[in-house]
Structure 1
Amino acid sequence: MKPTRLILIPAFNGQPAPFMIVAPDGGVLQRGVLALDTVERPEPMRTVAVCPGADVSIRWLDLPAGGGAQLRAAAAWRLREDLAATPDRVATIVGGSAGPGQPRLVAVVSHALLEAWSDYLEALGVRAEALVPDMLTIAEPEDADAVRAVAFGENLALRGRRFAVTVQPDLVDLVAGDRRVVPIEDSRTVERALAAAALSPAINLFDIGARDRTGPRGGWRRAAGLAAAVLVSPLLLTAAAAARDDMAARRLETEAITAIAAAAPDLARESDPVAALRRRAASAPPPGGVTAAVAALYSAVEAVEGAELDMVAAGPDDGVKATLSHPAYSDMEQINQRMAEAGMAVTETATLDDAGRVVSDISIGARP
């Protein structure tokens, strides 16, 4: 077997990409950095890229038997209520089988980001055969109550048993819940995990079948539109990330401004329409953004026995709204208290009885 190159894609445009070359036995043969302005192109070899995990939603789903297309369709259907973006904007990738009766690893990521990451790697002079989010480079802990944490840039990648997410440091406690967070700070341990991921990626976001889709290619117009769209999972609300995808924004700024002007004419009059669109996408109450609101809500609902989070909707103009199903009317008092402790206020907009359960529609805002 030949060596494999692993590249860490940075979170922001213009930054260099750290890389290492891994031998077939997992040993590191070379370490270095690839820069966009390097004249000499890297040596051709099998390459695996690691992308920012904050831009990818990871789930484990029970799926029926079937081929690749059938599995992706089944996964997309299962996640249909978790997507604020339209299905044609995202790719659904299903991992390999873990055994009979075991849930399948499923990843969801925007097509625009996949294209931006591909463009970045091409600008470096490399072509990656596989792309894996950073949190899936960490091995699952043996302890079901533990979560391993590794820093990637300004974010922390968390990995537990059938749990994987990358978040900002101030959201770790909310997202981890009752799990014990075990930081991994030893560089050699992290390097061994990355080497293992290079040799055997847990999932490949560049899966060709998942990227097949019909319809016209929107280029940066599609990416700019994602600035106001969000991808929701019951664990975490993750911005589809085009809003902060400087990688493509700086390179195609003219097209971005044109697309923004068509979608939101009022923003076109701003001195920096791109920044204005980003502020609008992040301005939904409460003050921590929709990501913090949904993370806090999930934690509060999880603490109430029998309560379920049925639906979450978020947008730059409407804030965060959700529908909860719970056994008793008094359950909302406990949820309200936990949200208040997180600095957020819950307003019940509708409540009804449904087959012996209580269904509550709520909105989340800043605590007075």
Structure 2
Amino acid sequence: MSRTRLVLIPAEGSEPAPFLMLDADGRVLERGHLSVETPALPGARVRTVAVVPGADVLIRWLTLPAGRPVQQRAAALWALREDLAVDPAGMRVALGAVEADGSRPVAAVSEGRLMAWTDALSRLGLTADALVPDSLVPADPEEADTVNTITFGPTVALRGRRLAVSVQPDLAPVIAGERRLVPIATDAEVEARLIATALTPPVDLGGSERRAPQGEGWKAWRLAAGLALALLVSPLVLTAAAAIRDDMAASRLREDAEARARVLFPDMAADADPLDEAQRRLALTPPPGGVAVVAAVLFQALEGVPGAELDSLTADPVSGVRATVSYTAFQDLEAIRNGVEALGLRMVEEATLEEGDRIASDIIVGVGA
């Protein structure tokens, strides 16, 4: 595609949308406005980059684990969960390029806002190849004590070191703090930044970063491994670390496996072969990454079941990765199982007990044998 159309989606959907038509070198071929009454004319395919209101987009700089993009987006969404005002399940995440310090910009936006922008573009006769928040249009400042700003309609986009946000003008000094605000005010300067954004979008909220469908060919436990790395700030990791230490200690006691099997399975029949019985009960084996992966998978699955909690998590080479989960209704266990299996692991129920108004189940989670 030799031409690029840059279009600014206004904060007020009824307003005309300014656009620039650029050649491959970024030279402006045409300027104008699009509206419902005067939409884009059909014709040769043109790459379209839409700049959308940054006030609706959360941007943070994160250092993500290595992996495929869908894994990294899952880890980023998990890391951002405390900053999101809505259910993370309804969010889209886009990743920028890795920077010199290993971090990268991560942009999150609700699926509802994306749909609204897509509909607005459709009314203008357009389909976007990339969606970029206006908060990333100003250049990253060369000096750490400055913040570059561009005004887009009722908001101002602020860009500083590891900062990109669009706010009401009176909030700009508050956000900048001790840093100096440097307005990009002339039309030529603003246009230059828009052209640079169109030629090299820093993130893409709606095109190449589409949500991956369930059931991709790659092994889903790797997604969970990425989530586990993002769990470093969670108390669950303390449990996981303790379990891993137990696992390492237990590996030195394999010669006492028969006695351990009876301790782990006290309901085992007296005349049963302890090791054979333990093998039979081990329907699952731990996934690569071990207990940290299972912790991430379970925590993610429980997040989707209101009132469900992870009460305990343990692991050793004999009993495998085991957990106790509690919930409020019997059908919740199936919802938890579906959440676990959606991330590529399997869950086996060992025992279930009603305790007052809650239900607790002992489960084993791992890769199907």
Which TM-score band (shorter chain)? 0.5 to 0.7
Distance 2:104 2:191 in 1: 26
Q: Quick one: structure 1 residues 39 and 177, their matched pair in 2 at CA, closer, same or farther if it must change by over 3 Å? A: closer
Distance 2:146 2:109 in 1: 26
Q: Quick one: structure 1 residues 209 and 40, their matched pair in 2 at CA, closer, same or farther if it must change by over 3 Å? A: closer
CA displacement at 1:92 relative to structure 2:
1.6
CA displacement at 1:208 relative to structure 2:
4.7
Aligned pairs (5 A) from 1:20-99: 20-38=20-38, 41-43=41-43, 44-99=45-100
Secondary structure at 1:18 match in 2: strand
Distance 1:131 1:46 in 2: 12
Q: What is the CA deviation profile of residues 344-364 of structure 1, one whole-angstrom value per residue up to 9, with x for unaligned ones?
A: xxxxxxxxxxxxxxxxxxxxx
CA displacement at 1:177 relative to structure 2:
0.7
1:42–1:126: 8 Å Cα contact kept in structure 2? Answer: no
2:135–2:166: 8 Å Cα contact kept in structure 1? Answer: yes
CA displacement at 1:98 relative to structure 2:
2.6
Distance 1:175 1:165 in 2: 9
* Aligned match of 2:317: none
Q: What is the CA deviation profile of residues 88-125 of structure 1, one whole-angstrom value per residue up to 9, with x for unaligned ones?
A: 121121222235x5201100101001011011111111
Aligned pairs (5 A) from 1:214-229: none
CA displacement at 1:39 relative to structure 2:
6.4
Distance 1:151 1:2 in 2: 29
Distance 1:153 1:195 in 2: 18
* Aligned match of 1:269: none
1:93–1:107: 8 Å Cα contact kept in structure 2? Answer: yes
- Aligned partner letter, 2:75: A
Aligned length: 213
2:7–2:48: 8 Å Cα contact kept in structure 1? Answer: yes
CA displacement at 1:138 relative to structure 2:
1.4
Aligned pairs (5 A) from 1:310-325: none
2:186 paired with 1:186:
yes
* Aligned match of 1:234: none
Distance 1:84 1:152 in 2: 24
Secondary structure at 2:197 match in 1: helix
Q: What is the CA deviation profile of residues 54-81 of structure 1, one whole-angstrom value per residue up to 9, with x for unaligned ones?
A: 1101100011111111101111121122
CA displacement at 1:13 relative to structure 2:
2.2
TM-score normalised per structure 2: 0.55
Secondary structure at 2:123 match in 1: helix
Q: What is the CA deviation profile of residues 189-226 of structure 1, one whole-angstrom value per residue up to 9, with x for unaligned ones?
A: 11011011111000000145543467xxxxxxxxxxxx
Distance 1:80 1:40 in 2: 38
- CA RMSD of superposed structures (Å): 1.7
Q: What is the CA deviation profile of residues 104-152 of structure 1, one whole-angstrom value per residue up to 9, with x for unaligned ones?
A: 1100101001011011111111111000001211111101110011110
Distance 2:142 2:20 in 1: 27
Distance 1:87 1:24 in 2: 37
- Aligned partner letter, 1:68: P
2:61–2:104: 8 Å Cα contact kept in structure 1? Answer: yes
Distance 1:166 1:58 in 2: 10
Distance 1:176 1:133 in 2: 19
Secondary structure at 1:120 match in 2: helix
- Identical counterparts, % of pairs: 51
CA displacement at 1:38 relative to structure 2:
2.3
Distance 1:74 1:196 in 2: 29
CA displacement at 1:42 relative to structure 2:
4.7
Distance 1:74 1:143 in 2: 30
Gaps of 5+ in 1: 215-368
2:5–2:19: 8 Å Cα contact kept in structure 1? Answer: yes
Distance 1:187 1:135 in 2: 17
Q: Quick one: structure 1 residues 208 and 22, their matched pair in 2 at CA, closer, same or farther if it must change by over 3 Å? A: closer
Distance 2:116 2:197 in 1: 22
Distance 1:146 1:208 in 2: 32
2:137 paired with 1:137:
yes
Aligned pairs (5 A) from 1:300-319: none
Distance 2:209 2:201 in 1: 17
Distance 1:180 1:133 in 2: 22
Q: What is the CA deviation profile of residues 166-196 of structure 1, one whole-angstrom value per residue up to 9, with x for unaligned ones?
A: 0001101111111100111111011011011
Distance 1:193 1:153 in 2: 16
Aligned pairs (5 A) from 1:1-368: 2-38=2-38, 41-43=41-43, 44-99=45-100, 101-212=101-212
Q: Quick one: structure 1 residues 45 and 25, their matched pair in 2 at CA, closer, same or farther if it must change by over 3 Å? A: same
CA displacement at 1:40 relative to structure 2:
6.4
- Write out the 4+ residue segments of structure 1 that deviate beyond 6 Å after TM superposition: none
Distance 1:72 1:45 in 2: 28
Distance 1:170 1:207 in 2: 33
Distance 2:210 2:98 in 1: 16
- Aligned partner letter, 1:63: L
Q: What is the CA deviation profile of residues 246-269 of structure 1, one whole-angstrom value per residue up to 9, with x for unaligned ones?
A: xxxxxxxxxxxxxxxxxxxxxxxx
Distance 2:180 2:146 in 1: 5
